[in-house]
Amino acid sequence: MTTTLRTGRLAPILLLLALVVGAAPAQAASAKIQAFFGTWEGNAVSESRISVNFQLTARDINVEVGPSGGGFLLTWRTVQRQKGSPSDPKEVLRETTLDFQPVRAGIWRAGDSRDPLVDKGAYAWAFIDDQTLVVNVMRIGTDGRPELQVYRRTLTGGFMKLEFTRIVDGRAVRSAKGRLIKVSS
């Protein structure tokens, strides 16, 4: 009976200690994400392995990162020039916003992530690798082929370097590389 009482009294203390120790890595990862906060603008060059007329195209890119609850909100915009005539390409603005919330220390999941096989949606998650914010977006096509888009945003000096790869069925079909500068905090 004495052992049960001692364990009963220690349980709240052990729980509190576990919460404090368990929260420390998540806070450290969250603090690191703050380095990416702000508005970034720049240019990129995209290389396509599936387009005959637009194998190499220029893109204007914009990235906004800010706090959201215990995670972060990420919006990126891309002006693509890969449709129409190569001599007069049509500009198309693409915009994506994802609200990432922590799932465990240093890993965030987009709040609207769905099972890509069942819901025909996308599953997105993010993590930080040294000075790089890595965002993965996975989809499964109607034909069953998997698609993975990987965005690597690396802080170097006063810049953000972008490396993007789109992989379909295990084959890289598009990549883009660019550089952005921080225009506001």
- Alpha-carbon distance of 9 to 7, in angstroms, equals 5
Secondary element (H or E) of residue 25 = helix 2-33
What mean pLDDT value characterizes the chain?
Answer: 82
**What is the pLDDT at residue 53?**
57
Mean pLDDT of 79-90: 75
3-state secondary structure 33-69: HHHHCEEEEEEEEEEECCCCCCCEEEEEEEEEEEEEC
> Which of 86, 77, 7 has its CA nearest to residue 51?
86
Residues near 25 by beta carbon (within 8 Å), at least 6 away in sequence = 105, 106
- Let me know if 38 is exposed, middle or buried by CB neighbors in 10 A (0-12, 13-18, 19+): middle
DSSP string, 93-114: EEEEEEEEEEEETTEEEETT--
pLDDT of residue 54: 62
Position 75 confidence tier, pLDDT thresholds 50, 70, 90: very high
At 18-71, the pLDDT tens digits run 333 333 344 444 449 999 999 999 999 988 766 655 677 888 999 999 999 999
Do 123 and 114 form a contact (C-beta atoms < 8 A)?
yes
Tens-place pLDDT, residues 98-134: 999 999 989 999 998 888 888 778 999 999 999 999 9
Q: Does domain 2-184 have CATH number 1.10.10.10?
A: no
